[in-house]
A and B are shown apart, each in its own frame.
Chain A
Amino acid sequence: MKSKIAGNNIYKIFGEDPSLALDLLAAGKSKDEIYEVTGQAVGVHNVTFRVAEGEIFVVMGLSGSGKSTLVRMINGLIKPSSGEILIDGIDVASCSDEELRTIRREKVAMVFQHFALFPHKTVVENVAFGLKIRGVKAAERRERAQSALEQVGLGARGDSYPDELSGGMQQRVGLARGLASEPEILLMDEPFSALDPLIRSDMQQELLELQRTLKKTIVFITHDLNEALTLGNTIAIMRNGAIVQTGNAEEIVGNPANAYVAAFTRDIDRSLVFKAGSIARPPDTIDLGTDIQSALAHMEETGADAVHVLKGGKLAGIITYKAANAALREGRALKSAVLEEFPSTSPQSRLYDLYLLAEAGLPIALTDDAGELIGVVRPQDVFQQLAVRGASA
């Protein structure tokens, strides 16, 4: 996939003349040492990243880790001390003011932690702000702002003022303002941090819902690892101005790069992170026409308690060792021992959703959209995966 945003070796030193601090950094001095010598703070330290088109790229870090600085460098609100940031190949760090304005107007919109809605404008005027700045005519502006408001479920509140809305609604307005100018890139700086936990998780789900149809490239900043894991296609973890690990949710939790990341991931509910596909075994099947002895022999050979049964290549049911054995004793055919009701799910479902299915004690079939069996999850594997927490730390 082609990268939409690319950052190469970005440094940010806060202070008048960053050259001394940059030299010290190159010499391998730490942040604190540099502060002692120069009195300047290192905001971002040699960051390189790629954001693919259409993905949600989450930057996660605690306060002071440089994540907010990083996101502001993408739309040029903060200029890096050195390094480049390319949006579709144009370097935001070095382009002219005019070019930068064009990028901000047409390509990159931003959503803020404390909403940053204009208190003197109505909701619909707030949403239309980007369009007004761009010079879109009043009637078209209003129409597009209205449809953006409807996207976030606030179509009826256009004429209210921001301070008449709740926090969650205000951030929806913030989101609508970002969406109204139809940008390719949406920068979200801790957009849900100021909201109540319940509203926050609602908003996360809504964002994912919207993203399914919008397919924007989103850079999302958060200090909450759970939020990062819920939303991110790719997650970058920042500490002291540097990115310490980049990867998807399963990589971050399953394989933390160092003790710092591991400490974060320790308290994460792994069942919400891992997908059924990650612990699947290759499908193991017999045909419905198989005679019962060879079916039993097959199960003894693989050590399985149960095996899925195909009928003409289609998944038809499951047979357990016990039922097959009983059928053999009573001299019944294989068919009579097959259970036609068996647990099955998609490989994309979370382990959390497998708990109930695993209760039956039967292997869980993973099927694709066509109903084809593509893998099997054994109940004991589910719990094993959940039990390895911290093992790699």
Chain B
Amino acid sequence: MSPSDFLTLPFDDWVNSLVRDWLVPNFRPFFRSMQWPVTQVLNGLSAFLNATPMLVFTLALALVAWRTAGKGLALFTIVALSFIDVIGLWPETMTTLAMVVTAVLFCVVLGIPLGVLAARTEVFRAILRPILDIMQTIPSFVYLVPIVMLFGVGVVPGIIATIIFALPPIIRLTDLGIRTVREDLIEAAMAFGATPWQMLVEVQFPLALRTIMAGLNQTLMLALSMVVIAAMIGAGGLGLTVFTGLGRLDVGNATAGGVGIVLLAIILDRISQALGERRMVQVPSLLETMRSLFSLRGQKPAAEAKRAG
């Protein structure tokens, strides 16, 4: 005995008719037009990254790693990117990077304002929360089909799927970061007559920045983890290498693509983490860093002091 003996709901048919007969015919042009900004950013970024010589890009990223996370990561960046180049996956890596950066950029542009709004109005937060829960728990394969129906096949729909998948953490952590700013600081800003906007710009946002950066890091990682799934609906890059490797049972190719993704993930993760943890104190200038790297003079006094002590 079960309820299905008496009643069966054609739930799948309902969804089908909702998407096929109502959403697609009525809103396809609207969704298509939403692709435009994503396409522009992706094309620009992709062209730039593919036009940049491998050596120049590697050195630039190593420099960024150096300034944010230190010498170790800079060295790792050089080795990892050289390895990717040597195994012949450089163009794919750049395509993937362009996709991931585009997706993260849109996540930031959408997520931070939504997070701020959620932190400020209870009602908005109450509405947003279940939506975020759904976005985080629903398997991405479920929305892959309607996305293809609405946006078509290609890189941009892949990025849109990535945005849906990677958006929740930055919204949640922006909301959390702003909510957990010390109450007495909010009170102090109020007592000096700050407007809500001044409060946000002068106090809440800078103090929530660490938490927001943690959200950005999570979003970045989720975006990277989507590249293979996005390849299923026509996105290129390392995801495609893995996906075709999977289809042809080509272990070597799939592993190569996977290693590329992992290496890229490590570099981006460490840089974005370091950005979040960096305190607002003076960072040594480039010249000083160079000097400390190329000479041992900086270490001598400490060593001598140790000996003396």
Residues of chain A touching chain B, judged by Cβ–Cβ distance below 8 Å, are: 75, 77, 100-106, 108-110, 112, 114, 116, 118-120, 129-130, 132-134, 161, 181, 187
Residues of A within 8 A of B259 (CB): none
**Interface mask (B144-161 → A, CB under 8 Å = 1, otherwise 0):** 000000000000000000
B187 to A118, Cβ gap below 8 A?
Answer: no
Residues of B within 8 A of A75 (CB): 191
Partner of A109, one of B192, B206, B281: B192
Residue of A nearest to B210 (CB): A120
Residue of B nearest to A105 (CB): B193
Residues of A within 8 A of B194 (CB): 133
Closest 6 CB pairs of A and B: A104-B193, A105-B193, A116-B188, A110-B191, A116-B184, A130-B192
Known: A118-B203, A119-B207, A120-B207. A129 touches B184 (CB 8 A): no
Residue of B nearest to A164 (CB): B281
B192 to A116, Cβ gap below 8 A?
Answer: no
A118 to B191, Cβ gap below 8 A?
Answer: no
B280 to A104, Cβ gap below 8 A?
Answer: no
User: 14 interchain pairs (CB within 8 A)?
Assistant: A75-B191, A77-B187, A105-B193, A106-B193, A109-B191, A110-B191, A112-B188, A116-B182, A119-B207, A120-B280, A132-B202, A133-B193, A133-B194, A181-B192
- Nearest chain B CB to A380's CB is how many angstroms away? 51
How many chain B residues touch A (CB < 8 A): the figure is 19
> Is B190 part of the binding interface, using a Cβ–Cβ cutoff of 8 Å?
yes
Residues of chain B touching chain A, judged by Cβ–Cβ distance below 8 Å, are: 182, 184-185, 187-195, 198, 202-203, 206-207, 280-281
B185 to A116, Cβ gap below 8 A?
Answer: yes
A133 to B202, Cβ gap below 8 A?
Answer: yes
A sample of 10 more A-B contacts (CB under 8 A), given A77-B190, A132-B202, A161-B280, is A77-B191, A102-B193, A104-B193, A105-B193, A109-B191, A109-B192, A112-B184, A120-B280, A133-B194, A187-B191
Residue of A nearest to B198 (CB): A133
Residues of A within 8 A of B192 (CB): 104-105, 109-110, 129-130, 133, 181
Residue of A nearest to B281 (CB): A161
Residues of A within 8 A of B189 (CB): 129, 133
Residues of B within 8 A of A77 (CB): 187, 190-191
Residues of B within 8 A of A104 (CB): 190-193
Counted as pairs of residues, one from A and one from B, with CB atoms less than 8 Å apart, the total is 57
Partner of B188, one of A102, A110, A120, A161: A110
Bound complex: CA of A104 vs CA of B203, how far in Å? Answer: 17
Residues of B within 8 A of A119 (CB): 207
Bound complex: CA of A129 vs CA of B185, how far in Å? Answer: 12
Residues of B within 8 A of A187 (CB): 191
A118 to B195, Cβ gap below 8 A?
Answer: no
Bound complex: CA of A102 vs CA of B195, how far in Å? Answer: 11
- Nearest chain B CB to A74's CB is how many angstroms away? 10
A134 to B184, Cβ gap below 8 A?
Answer: no
Bound complex: CA of A129 vs CA of B190, how far in Å? Answer: 11
Bound complex: CA of A118 vs CA of B191, how far in Å? Answer: 13
Interface centre among B190, B191, B280, B281 (most CB of A within 10 A): B191
Residues of A within 8 A of B184 (CB): 112, 114, 116
Bound complex: CA of A280 vs CA of B32, how far in Å? Answer: 94
Residue of B nearest to A187 (CB): B191
Partner of B206, one of A112, A120, A130, A161: A120
Residue of A nearest to B207 (CB): A120
- Nearest chain B CB to A133's CB is how many angstroms away? 5
Bound complex: CA of A109 vs CA of B189, how far in Å? Answer: 11
Bound complex: CA of A77 vs CA of B191, how far in Å? Answer: 7
Bound complex: CA of A114 vs CA of B190, how far in Å? Answer: 16
Residues of B within 8 A of A120 (CB): 206-207, 280
Bound complex: CA of A279 vs CA of B35, how far in Å? Answer: 89
B187 to A116, Cβ gap below 8 A?
Answer: yes
Residue of B nearest to A126 (CB): B188
Residues of B within 8 A of A101 (CB): 193, 195
B187 to A112, Cβ gap below 8 A?
Answer: yes
Residue of A nearest to B183 (CB): A116
Residue of B nearest to A78 (CB): B187
Bound complex: CA of A119 vs CA of B206, how far in Å? Answer: 10
Residue of A nearest to B191 (CB): A110
Interface centre among B189, B192, B281 (most CB of A within 10 A): B192
Bound complex: CA of A101 vs CA of B202, how far in Å? Answer: 16
Bound complex: CA of A390 vs CA of B96, how far in Å? Answer: 83
- Nearest chain B CB to A84's CB is how many angstroms away? 20
Bound complex: CA of A75 vs CA of B189, how far in Å? Answer: 12
Residue of A nearest to B205 (CB): A120
Residues of A within 8 A of B191 (CB): 75, 77, 104, 108-110, 187
Residues of B within 8 A of A100 (CB): 193
A134 to B193, Cβ gap below 8 A?
Answer: yes
Interface centre among B189, B193, B281 (most CB of A within 10 A): B193
- Nearest chain A CB to B244's CB is how many angstroms away? 48
Residues of A within 8 A of B202 (CB): 118, 129, 132-133
Residues of B within 8 A of A105 (CB): 192-193
Residues of A within 8 A of B198 (CB): 133
Residues of B within 8 A of A181 (CB): 192
Bound complex: CA of A214 vs CA of B94, how far in Å? Answer: 65
Bound complex: CA of A106 vs CA of B182, how far in Å? Answer: 25
Bound complex: CA of A77 vs CA of B186, how far in Å? Answer: 11
Residue of B nearest to A135 (CB): B198
- Nearest chain A CB to B299's CB is how many angstroms away? 26
B185 to A118, Cβ gap below 8 A?
Answer: yes
Residues of A within 8 A of B185 (CB): 116, 118
Bound complex: CA of A116 vs CA of B187, how far in Å? Answer: 8
A130 to B193, Cβ gap below 8 A?
Answer: yes
Residues of B within 8 A of A161 (CB): 280-281
- Nearest chain A CB to B83's CB is how many angstroms away? 39
- Nearest chain A CB to B182's CB is how many angstroms away? 8
- Nearest chain A CB to B168's CB is how many angstroms away? 27
